Structure formats: structure tokens, C-alpha cells
Structure 1
Amino acid sequence: MTLADIVALGPWAWFIAGLLLMALEILAPGAFMLWLGLAAVATGLVASVVDMSWQITVLVFAALSLASVLVGRRILRERRPRTGETALNNRSAKIVGRTFVLDAPIEQGRGRVKVDDTVWRVEGPDLPQGARIRVTGVDGTLLKVAEA
């Protein structure tokens, strides 16, 4: 296919290019080709409304590509977790905020609770066995708790 054949397709060439770029995103994910594909589809829409040369259309695509990549990066940055730590493979971080029932009373600030299939040591205010507690933090293998 030559440049003349592509130019003859008009705006449809941009729609096809956009769909191909989005398909490439599925094959090699990384959230980059998606933005270029959206820019190509937008270029096709502009080219179908405004009559312009193929050179100007390429410049429109370049501008829309730059804009869509910048907007896409901003969107992805906002969706990223705020802290550097994630709960992935960090079982204790997944416990924070949950409520449980004490297996043993908390006496002199120490007790224990069964969380799923594991017994954890807890630290918090003195409470009787069977009291409901909420995990407020983790210090190694010690759960910091408060009355729920």
C-alpha cells in the first residue's frame, strides 16, 4: 500500500489506524498505544468535518497525540496509590481497618485475636474476651487495636 492509497482513503485511514493502535494496546499493554489510537480516531473525526491536506492532517494527529498522551499520563498518575507501599503480598496491611472478636482478653495492653486462619498478638486497651475490636495499625507481627 502506497502513500497515495492511504491518502485516497481519506478520514477512514485515520479510523483504521486508530483501531489498529488500540488493538496493539491489547497485545502489548502499557497504556500508551491507546492514547495514540484515540488521537488517530479524533484526527479521523476532524478530517471528516474539515477539508485539509494530508500534511496538515498529520500535524493535527501529532498535536492530538501529544495532548492525549499527556492527559492519559495524568489520569493514570491520579489512579496510582498515593503511598509507595501497596498491600500486595503484605497480609498485615490488608487487616488494618477490619473488625474482629477477641479470642483472649487484652490484659495489661496485650491479647490475641484470630484473623482468618492465623492467631495474631494485639496491643490496645484492656478489653474482655469476646469484645469487638478494630485494627488501627500494624507493628511487625503485632496488631494495634481499638474498641470497635
Structure 2
Amino acid sequence: MIAGVLAEFGPWAWWVFGLVLLAAELLLPGVFLVWIGLAAIAVGLVSLGLWGSGYWPWEVQWIVFAALSVVFVIAGRRFYAGPAGGSDEPLLNRRGASLIGRIGTLGEPVRDGRGRLKLDDTFWPVKGPDLPAGTRVRVTGAEGSTLSVEAD
């Protein structure tokens, strides 16, 4: 059957197959079928030049297609992965860690190592040395929503 389709359409069968895969990517987005579709179109390009030769049977075409699909998918994933440096906002979902180094005023005294700190419009639970309310403190660490403080 495969040999019959390839013989009927010639190298254009790969082009049609590639375009069908690209159209399927529009219906099922995921940036995966696009690479396989491009591999089919690449095999179609090679087939235009090698179609009549004896060393380009349909079995070899499918092996080349499979290999190019793997190469294109790996290259595409690396292309879309972005820079290896990570996020430009590494503390985006770690609000407590983003407060390290800030200075604020204790809203409640720290007694037995626990108290509350007012930063901007939010009161944060804190741990640290015993200090009276109104003391300026610096945030030195964060553990969940509890901040570690020391006198400034």
C-alpha cells in the first residue's frame, strides 16, 4: 500500500503528508507535529532529486523520515526551551524570599522568638530575637510565610 501511494504520487506524497501534519498541528496545537511535518517536507525535497534512482526505495525514505523526525523534534524542543539561564523573575512565586533584605517596623513585639512585622500593607509572622514593638528590623530569611529578622 505504501509503495503504491508513493509510486502514484511520487515525491509529492511526502509534501502532501507534511502539509497534512502541519494542518493537524493547527487543530491539535502542541508544537510537536510541526517538526514531523517539516521532516516529511524535507524528505519530499530530497525525493525530488533522488526519485528515479535505485537507492531511494520507499523503505529508505521512511527510515530517513523517522531519523529526520527525531532530529527535528530534538532541535525544535531546544529552540523553544529558551535560554538555559532560567526565569528572569526567579522569586515570582516565592514572596517571602523576595522580601529578604527589606527593612520594616515590628507591628507586634517579638516574644519567645515570635512576633509580627509590617511590610507595606501586610503583617508577616516573624521569628528572631526578642524585640519591642516599633523596632526597625531587617529580614534575613524566609521559611514558608514566616520571616527571620534581626535588629537593624
Short-chain TM bin: 0.5 to 0.7
Deviations 1:83-129 (A, max 9, x none): xxxx89xx5x24523575524379767551436x6432245698954
1:39 correspondence with 2:44: no
Indicate the RMSD between aligned Cα atoms, in angstroms. 4.7
1:112 to 117, 128, 144: 117
Equivalent position SS for 2:98: coil
Instruction: Tell me, in whole angstroms, the C-alpha distance in 2 between the residues paired with 1:140 and 1:95.
Output: 7
Alignment of 1:75-114 (within 5 A): 91=93, 93-98=94-99, 100=102, 102-104=104-106, 111-114=116-119
CA drift at 1:21: 1.6
Instruction: Tell me, in whole angstroms, the C-alpha distance in 2 between the residues paired with 1:95 and 1:141.
Output: 6
Structure 2 length as normaliser, TM-score? Answer: 0.53
CA drift at 1:61: 0.8
CA drift at 1:63: 1.9
CA drift at 1:4: 5.0
1:51 correspondence with 2:50: yes
Structure 1 length as normaliser, TM-score? Answer: 0.54
The structure-2 alpha-carbon separation of the partners of 1:74 and 1:3, relative to structure 1 and needing over 3 Å to count, comes to same
Deviations 1:61-90 (A, max 9, x none): 12212333444566678879x9xxxx89xx
| Residue number in structure 2 paired with 1:63 | 67
CA drift at 1:38: 2.4
Instruction: Tell me, in whole angstroms, the C-alpha distance in 2 between the residues paired with 1:22 and 1:64.
Output: 16
Q: Which amino acid aligns with 1:63?
A: A
Between structure 1 and structure 2, the one with the greater Rg is 2
| Residue number in structure 1 paired with 2:143 | 139
The structure-2 alpha-carbon separation of the partners of 1:27 and 1:145, relative to structure 1 and needing over 3 Å to count, comes to farther
Instruction: Tell me, in whole angstroms, the C-alpha distance in 1 between the residues paired with 2:28 and 2:36.
Output: 14
Instruction: Tell me, in whole angstroms, the C-alpha distance in 2 between the residues paired with 1:27 and 1:60.
Output: 26
CA drift at 1:30: 4.2
Question: What 5-or-longer segments of structure 1 have no aligned partner?
Answer: none
* Paired residues of 1:106 and 1:112 also in contact (CA < 8 A): yes
* Paired residues of 1:96 and 1:136 also in contact (CA < 8 A): no
Q: How many pairs align?
A: 135
| Residue number in structure 2 paired with 1:21 | 21
Identical columns (%): 35
Instruction: Tell me, in whole angstroms, the C-alpha distance in 1 between the residues paired with 2:22 and 2:40.
Output: 10
